[in-house]
Chain A
Amino acid sequence: MPETIFWVILFLPLTAFALAGISALNQNLQRQIPEWDPSYPRSWKPIADQFCGPRLASTPLIIALAVAFVLAVINLIDSIGLRGLPLNIGSHELFTAGELVVNVGVRIDGLTSVMLVVVTGVSLLVQVYSTGYMDGDHGYRRYFAFMALFTTSMLGLVLADNLLMLFAFWELVGLTSYLLIGFWFHRPAAAAAAKKAFLVTRLGDLGMLAAMVLIYSKTGTLDIAAINALADSGAEAGMFAFNGLLIGQTAMTLFGLGLIAGAVGKSAQFPLHIWLPDAMEGPTPVSALVHSATMVAAGVYLLARFFPVIHASSTASDLIAWIGAGTALGAAILALVQVDIKRVLAYSTISQLAYMMFAIGIGGYAAAVFHLMTHAFFKAMLFLGSGSVNHSTNTFDMRRMGGLRTLMPITFLTFAVGTLSLAGIFPLSGFWSKDEILIEAWDNNKGVFVLGLLAAGLTAAYMVRAVYMTFFGEYKGGEPVAPSEHGNEDPSHPHESPRSMTTPLLILMVISVVAGFLTIGGEFQTWVYGALPDPHDGKFHWSWGIFLGSTALALAAGFAAFTFIHHRDRIRSWGIGGVWPIPEAQKFATELFYLDSLAENFLARRVFYRWIAQGSAWFDERVVDGIVNRAWREGITVSSAARFVQNGWVQAGTLSIGLGGMIIWIAVVLF
C-alpha cells in the first residue's frame, strides 16, 4: 500500500472534525447574530442553516469512517500477504532543534493493521448508533466533532513510527477523552470526572514522558523500530548495543518502567484505575468506543508496540505481569457489587485490559493483541446494549430495571451474546482469546495463571448477575424523565431502540461470534508477531485441560451467581450474614477497597491541596512577598527618618561636618 493511503486514513476523520467544528460553531454564532452585526445579511442565515446544520456534523464523519474502514481492511489483507512484516513507510521531518530531529512517519505491521481495522470499524458502528442515541441533544454537533477528533488521534497513535509522534497523539487521545467525559458539562459530576480522568492518566504520562527523554538522551533516537531492535539485541555485560546505538541495562529497565507507567494510566490498571468508572459520566456511545474498545486499549497497544523493551528487563515484564494479574482479579471483584450497569462494564473493562497486560508481561504477545481485538467488539456491543437499555428506561441503575428480555428482544439477544463471549463460553470470540492468554499463563507463570483463572470465574458471575438484574424478573419502572431532559421517551413503557441503534448491535454480535475463529490454525499469531519471534512457530496453541477447566469454571460460577440472586430471599433467611462477615466484605468492595477515597480525599485533597499547596501559597504571600513589603515599609521609615538630615540648613550641615570630623579623628586616635 502506498504511503498516501495511510495519510488519507488519518485525514479523513480530521476533515470530518473540521466540518463538524464548523457546524458546531455555526450553532453558537447563530445565537449571536441579532446583537452582533446589523449588517449581517439575513439571507445568509437559511443558507448557513442548510449547509452547516446538524447533518454536517454526523454524515461526513460516517462517510469518512466507512471509507477509512474499507482502506484499513484492504491494508489488512495486504499486510497478511506480507506476513505482517513491518514496513516503515515514509518519514518526514517536522522540525529540528540542534541534534533533535522530529519526524512524522508511518509504520505498518500486523499490530498496526489490526488496530486500524478495529478503530475504524468500531468507531463507524458507534457513530451510526450515536445518530440515534444523541438525536435531539443540544450538543449533537459538538459530540460528533469530538468523536471525529478522537478517531483521528487514535489512528495517529497506532500509525506513528516514532515515540514523540506516538506521545503527541497519545495526549490528544487523552484530551478527547476529557472532552467527551465532560460532554454534559452542566453536570458537576461529569466535569469532575473529566478532570479526574485527565489528571490521573497524565500522572502515568509523566512516566512515559520521562521514558521518552531518557531514551532520547541515551541513544539519540526516538524511532520505534530502532529502539525495539536495540532492546531485541540482548544485553552483553549489562549493555545493549545495536547498529551504533548503546544503552545500559538500568536505563533500558527504567525506559520499560516509564512506558508501563503510561500504559497503566491509560489502560486504567492498579493503582491508576480510579478514573475509568467515573468516566462513565460521558454519553454511553463514548463509553463504548473510548472507554472500552479503543482508547483504553492504547496502553496495551503501547506495551505490545514496545514488546522487546518490556522483555529486555525481567523487572519490567514481571511488574506488568503481576499488576495485570492483580488488577484482573480485583476489578472483577468490584464489578460483582456494582448496581450501575455501566459501572459493572467499566470494572469489567479494567479486568479485561488487565488480562492483556499480564499476557504481555508473561510473553503472550499475540494472545494479548488477539484479546484486544475480540474484546473491542464484544465490549463495544455490551456498552451499546446498556445505552439501548438506558434509552428506554432512562436509568443505568439495574435495581430499577428487570424484565426487559421480552420488551427489548434485540438488545437482550446482543447483550446475552456479549455476556457469553465475555465469560469465555465456547465457541464465541472471547473464549478463544481468553483461553489463549490462560494457556500462555499456564506455560510461563503459574501464579499469574491462578489469579487469571479466578478472574475468569468471577467474570461469568458478575455478568450473569447483571443480565439477570436487567433482563429477568419484573420491570421496576426505570427513572422518570425530568421535564428539562431531552429525547428520552416515557420509561414506564420501555420499548426497543430505533434501527440506527439496533443495526450496529447486530453487526457487532455477528463479529463477536465469528472473530474468534481467526486464531484456529495459528496463522493469526504468526502474522501478528510479524518481525518478532513467534515462540510457537506458527502452530496453533491448544490445551484440552484448560479448555475444559475454564469452561467448567465459567459455567459453575455463572450458575452459582444465578442461584444466589434468584433465591436471594431464601438464602438471606438462612442468616449467613450473621456467621460470615458478608456485609462487611460487601461494604469493603462497594467502597472500592477504599482506594478511591485514599487517592482523592487523602492524597489529592488533604496532602497535596491542603498541606502542600496551601502551605506554599502561605509561604509565598507571607514570606516571599512579606519580606519585600517589609523592606519597602522599612525603606520608607528609614528614609523619612533620614529626611531631617536633608533639611537644607547651612548651620546643621556645618555642624554635622564638624561632628563627623571629630568622630573620625577620635576613631583614628583610638585605633
Chain B
Amino acid sequence: MDPGFPVLSLLIFLPLLGVLLIALLPGRHTPTQWLVQNAPGNPTDYPRWIALGISLGALIIALVMFIIFDRSASGFQFIDEFDWISAEAVGFNVKYAFGVDGLSMPLVLLTAFLSVVAVLVSWRIDLRTKEYFAWLLVLETSVLGVFTSLDLLFFFLFWELELIPMFLLISIWGSGNRNYSALKFVLYTVFGSAFMLVGFLALGVAADTFDFREIRADSIAAAFLPAPVIFSFILIAFAIKLPVVPLHTWLPDAHTDAPTAVSVILAGVLLKMGGYGILRLLFTLMPDVGADADLALAIIGTVSIVYGAIVTMRQTDLKRLIAYSSVSHMGFVLLGVSALGVTGMSGAAMQLVTHGLITGMLFVMVGLVYDRTHTRQIADMKGLMHHIPLLGIGMVFAGLAGLGLPALAGFVAEITIFLGAFGSQTAAVSVSLLGVLLAAGYILWALQRTFFGPRDDKWSHLPDANHWSEYTIIGALMALIVLLGVYPSIVMDLLEMGVEPIVRSIDAVVSSAGSVGAGGG
C-alpha cells in the first residue's frame, strides 16, 4: 500500500508536534499573564485537550492505515525511506526507513489506541500538567518508532528514547518508592540495551547497512561475533523487556509506583516491544539460531507462565498482583514463538495485542479504584461492589478477560498458542496448561477479597464512575475485548500474514539443515 504521502512519518511525529504545542503554552510563571487571563475556558486544561486531540489524531491515522492496509500483499507497506548516514567507505550506512507489515500494523493501532486511553485516564492529573502530557506524547512517539523502524539504529534510538519519559513519569508523578522503581527500570533496560547495541553493531557493520531488510545470512556469518552470540545478546534486551523469569523483578516495582496511565502504556505496549523484537529481529534475521533455541525458549516461557502465576497468588497489592500476572501472560508469547509454526507464532502475536488491551484495562480499573479508595492493599478493601458497581463491572469483566474466558480476546490467543505449540513442545505446553488454572485462581480470589463480600460503610462515600472520560475508556476497552474475542479475524489475518515469512525462512533453514544432515548420513 503506497498512499503517495509519508503517512507513517506523520503518525510517528504527530505526538512530537503535540509536545511542541504544549511547550508553547504559557506556564505559571510566564510574562504573558494577559494571555492566560483572556483565554477562553480554563487554560490549565489546555495540555490535556491538546494531548487528547493529538492522540486522537494519531489514532485516526492509525485506523485509516489499518483499514486501507493491503491484506493481499505480504511485506512492508506505507514505507518512508531515505538514506540518513552513508559512510560507504567504512560500511556504516543508516537509513531513515519506516514501514509496517501484518505483524506491526495491529501493534501500531494498539499503541495509538492505548495512548488515547492513557490521556483520558490521566484526566484528573493536576500536578505539572504541561510536562506530564508532553512526556506522555513523547512516549507515544518512541513506541510507535520501535514498532515501525526498518533500520536497526532507528529501532535502537526509539528503544532508548522511551526511557526518558518513562523515568520522569514514574519518578515525578508516581507513588510509593518511585525513585527506586524508576531507576531500577532504567538500569535494567539499559543493561539489556548495551548487549543489544553490540549485537546490532555486529549485524550492521558486517552487512554494510543497518536496514534489516537487507541483512542476509551470509553477512551475519561474517560478523565479528558468532550468530548465536549475537542472538543471545539481543535476546537479553528483549527478555528483560518482555519480561521473562528471572529478569522480571523490575516490572512489579515499576508498575506499582507508576501513575495509572504509565502502567497502562507499560503493560499495554512497552512489554510488547520485547515480543515484537523477538519475532521481528531475532527470528527474521537469524531463523537458524532461533530454530535451535526453540526448546530453551519453550522452557523459559513455561517457567514464566507457571512461576509467575504462583508468585502472583501471594501478592497483597492489587496493582502488583496484575503486574505479576503480566509476567505469566508474557510467557505465553515465548511458548507460542517456540512452536516455530504459523499457528503458534500467530497466537504469540495475538497474545501481544490481546494482553495489551486486557492488562491495559485491568490497570485502568485498578487506577480508577485507587483514585477513590487511595489504597491498593487488597486487605483494606472489601465489598466495593456495593458502592462502585460500575467500576466493579469493569473490573470483573477485565478480570474474566485476563483469565482467558471464551468470547473475550485473551482466550483466542491462548488457545491458538496451545493448539499450535503442543505438537512440537508437548511437555512445555502440558505444564503451561496449569497457568490457565492459576490465572483463574489469583484473579477470582482477588475479586472475591476486594469487590465481593459484605458492605463496608468505610467506602459508602465513594463515587462510582461518574466522568465522561471514565465511561469512554471502560466502554471502548470492553467493546474491543469482546470484538477480538468473537471476531478475531480482523487482527489475526494480519498477524498471520506477518509471521508467515518468518516461518517460511525457518522452514527453509530447517529443511536445508535436514537435507545436509541426510546427505552427511
A residues at B contact (CB < 8 Å): 25, 28-29, 31-32, 35-37, 94-100, 164, 167-169, 171-172, 175, 178, 182, 185-188, 191-192, 194-195, 198-199, 202-203, 205-206, 209-210, 212-214, 216-217, 609, 612-614, 616-617, 620, 624-625, 628, 632
Residue of A nearest to B491 (CB): A95
CA distance A217 to B488 in the complex (A): 22
B76 beta carbon closer than 8 Å to chain A: no
Query: Is B440 touching A613 in the complex (CB atoms < 8 A)?
Result: no
Q: List 19 A-B contacts (CB under 8 A).
A: A31-B389, A36-B466, A96-B489, A97-B496, A98-B345, A98-B496, A185-B451, A199-B441, A202-B437, A206-B434, A206-B436, A210-B430, A214-B422, A616-B314, A617-B313, A624-B246, A624-B248, A628-B188, A632-B187
Query: Is A624 touching B444 in the complex (CB atoms < 8 A)?
Result: no
A620 CB contact (under 8 Å) in B249, B345, B389: B249
A172 CB contact (under 8 Å) in B313, B383, B407: B407
Query: Is A617 touching B314 in the complex (CB atoms < 8 A)?
Result: yes
Query: Is A216 touching B416 in the complex (CB atoms < 8 A)?
Result: no
Known: A171-B405, A616-B314. A95 touches B488 (CB 8 A): yes
Task: Render B460-475 as a binary contact track against A, CB cut-off 8 A, 1 for contact.
Answer: 0001111110000000
Residues from chain B with Cβ under 8 Å of A182 in the complex:
452
Query: Is A198 touching B440 in the complex (CB atoms < 8 A)?
Result: yes
B411 beta carbon closer than 8 Å to chain A: yes
B416 CB contact (under 8 Å) in A100, A198, A203: A100
A29 CB contact (under 8 Å) in B188, B390, B405: B390
Residue of A nearest to B390 (CB): A28
Task: Render B373-395 as a binary contact track against A, CB cut-off 8 A, 1 for contact.
Answer: 00000000001011001100100
Query: Is A195 touching B445 in the complex (CB atoms < 8 A)?
Result: yes
Query: Is A210 touching B249 in the complex (CB atoms < 8 A)?
Result: no
Query: Is B187 touching A97 in the complex (CB atoms < 8 A)?
Result: no
A485 to chain B, nearest CB (A): 14
Query: Is A217 touching B463 in the complex (CB atoms < 8 A)?
Result: no
Known: A195-B445, A613-B311. A168 touches B411 (CB 8 A): yes
CA distance A258 to B448 in the complex (A): 30
CA distance A318 to B245 in the complex (A): 42
Known: A172-B405, A191-B453, A199-B440. A213 touches B416 (CB 8 A): no
Closest 10 CB pairs of A and B: A98-B342, A168-B406, A617-B314, A98-B343, A191-B452, A217-B423, A97-B346, A625-B249, A185-B452, A213-B422
Task: Render B310-322 as a binary contact track against A, CB cut-off 8 A, 1 for contact.
Answer: 1101110000000
Query: Is A32 touching B464 in the complex (CB atoms < 8 A)?
Result: yes
B78 beta carbon closer than 8 Å to chain A: no
CA distance A95 to B484 in the complex (A): 11
Residue of B nearest to A612 (CB): B310
A610 to chain B, nearest CB (A): 10
Query: Is A195 touching B386 in the complex (CB atoms < 8 A)?
Result: no
CA distance A100 to B453 in the complex (A): 43
Task: Render B418-451 as a binary contact track against A, CB cut-off 8 A, 1 for contact.
Answer: 1110110010011001101100110011001001
CA distance A562 to B182 in the complex (A): 74
Known: A186-B455, A213-B422. A169 touches B406 (CB 8 A): yes
Known: A29-B390, A188-B454, A624-B245. A95 touches B412 (CB 8 A): yes
> How many residue pairs at the A-B interface have CB separations less than 8 Å?
158
Query: Is A97 touching B420 in the complex (CB atoms < 8 A)?
Result: yes
CA distance A171 to B404 in the complex (A): 9
Apart from the given pairs A96-B493, A186-B455, A213-B429, 6 other A-B contacts in the complex at a CB distance below 8 Å: A99-B342, A175-B405, A202-B437, A206-B436, A206-B437, A624-B245
B483 beta carbon closer than 8 Å to chain A: no
Residue of A nearest to B444 (CB): A195
A171 CB contact (under 8 Å) in B311, B406, B495: B406
A100 CB contact (under 8 Å) in B343, B390, B465: B343
CA distance A217 to B343 in the complex (A): 11
Query: Is A100 touching B412 in the complex (CB atoms < 8 A)?
Result: no
B269 to chain A, nearest CB (A): 22
B residues at A contact (CB < 8 Å): 184, 187-188, 245-246, 248-250, 307, 310-311, 313-315, 341-347, 350, 383, 385-386, 389-390, 393, 400, 405-407, 411-412, 415-416, 418-420, 422-423, 426, 429-430, 433-434, 436-437, 440-441, 444-445, 448, 451-455, 463-468, 487-489, 492-493, 495-496, 503
CA distance A194 to B415 in the complex (A): 24
Known: A186-B455, A191-B448. A35 touches B407 (CB 8 A): no
Residues from chain B with Cβ under 8 Å of A178 in the complex:
444
CA distance A28 to B394 in the complex (A): 13
Query: Is B314 touching A613 in the complex (CB atoms < 8 A)?
Result: yes
Known: A95-B492, A185-B452, A209-B433. A613 touches B313 (CB 8 A): yes
Q: Which of A25, A164, A614, A625 has the most CB of B within 10 A?
A: A625
Query: Is A616 touching B187 in the complex (CB atoms < 8 A)?
Result: no
Residues from chain B with Cβ under 8 Å of A195 in the complex:
444-445, 448
Query: Is A217 touching B314 in the complex (CB atoms < 8 A)?
Result: no
Residues from chain A with Cβ under 8 Å of B436 in the complex:
202, 205-206, 209
Residues from chain A with Cβ under 8 Å of B466 in the complex:
32, 35-36
Residues from chain A with Cβ under 8 Å of B341 in the complex:
98-99
Known: A172-B406, A216-B419. A97 touches B411 (CB 8 A): no
B433 CB contact (under 8 Å) in A167, A169, A192, A206: A206
Known: A175-B405, A209-B433. A217 touches B422 (CB 8 A): yes
CA distance A171 to B412 in the complex (A): 13
Residues from chain B with Cβ under 8 Å of A617 in the complex:
310-311, 313-315
CA distance A192 to B382 in the complex (A): 13
Query: Is A99 touching B453 in the complex (CB atoms < 8 A)?
Result: no
CA distance A199 to B455 in the complex (A): 25
CA distance A28 to B474 in the complex (A): 15
Query: Is B405 touching A199 in the complex (CB atoms < 8 A)?
Result: no
Known: A192-B448, A195-B444. A213 touches B419 (CB 8 A): yes
B264 to chain A, nearest CB (A): 23
Residues from chain A with Cβ under 8 Å of B465 in the complex:
32
A259 to chain B, nearest CB (A): 15
Residues from chain B with Cβ under 8 Å of A620 in the complex:
249, 307, 311
B434 to chain A, nearest CB (A): 7
Known: A96-B496, A203-B437. A32 touches B390 (CB 8 A): yes
Residues from chain B with Cβ under 8 Å of A612 in the complex:
310
CA distance A205 to B440 in the complex (A): 12
B389 to chain A, nearest CB (A): 5
CA distance A206 to B429 in the complex (A): 11
Residue of A nearest to B467 (CB): A36
Query: Is B419 touching A217 in the complex (CB atoms < 8 A)?
Result: yes
A575 to chain B, nearest CB (A): 46
A558 to chain B, nearest CB (A): 42
A183 to chain B, nearest CB (A): 11
A648 to chain B, nearest CB (A): 26
A28 CB contact (under 8 Å) in B248, B389, B440, B441: B389
B303 to chain A, nearest CB (A): 11
Residues from chain B with Cβ under 8 Å of A36 in the complex:
466-467
Query: Is B437 touching A199 in the complex (CB atoms < 8 A)?
Result: yes
Query: Is A628 touching B249 in the complex (CB atoms < 8 A)?
Result: yes
CA distance A35 to B464 in the complex (A): 10
Residues from chain A with Cβ under 8 Å of B426 in the complex:
217
CA distance A212 to B249 in the complex (A): 34
Residue of A nearest to B183 (CB): A632
Query: Is B405 touching A97 in the complex (CB atoms < 8 A)?
Result: no
Query: Is A94 touching B444 in the complex (CB atoms < 8 A)?
Result: no
CA distance A345 to B272 in the complex (A): 50
Query: Is B433 touching A210 in the complex (CB atoms < 8 A)?
Result: yes
Query: Is A186 touching B383 in the complex (CB atoms < 8 A)?
Result: yes
Query: Is A97 touching B492 in the complex (CB atoms < 8 A)?
Result: yes
Q: Which of A164, A199, A209 has the most CB of B within 10 A?
A: A209
Query: Is A95 touching B249 in the complex (CB atoms < 8 A)?
Result: no
B499 to chain A, nearest CB (A): 8
B413 to chain A, nearest CB (A): 10
Residues from chain B with Cβ under 8 Å of A213 in the complex:
418-419, 422, 429
Residue of B nearest to A209 (CB): B433
Query: Is A185 touching B385 in the complex (CB atoms < 8 A)?
Result: yes
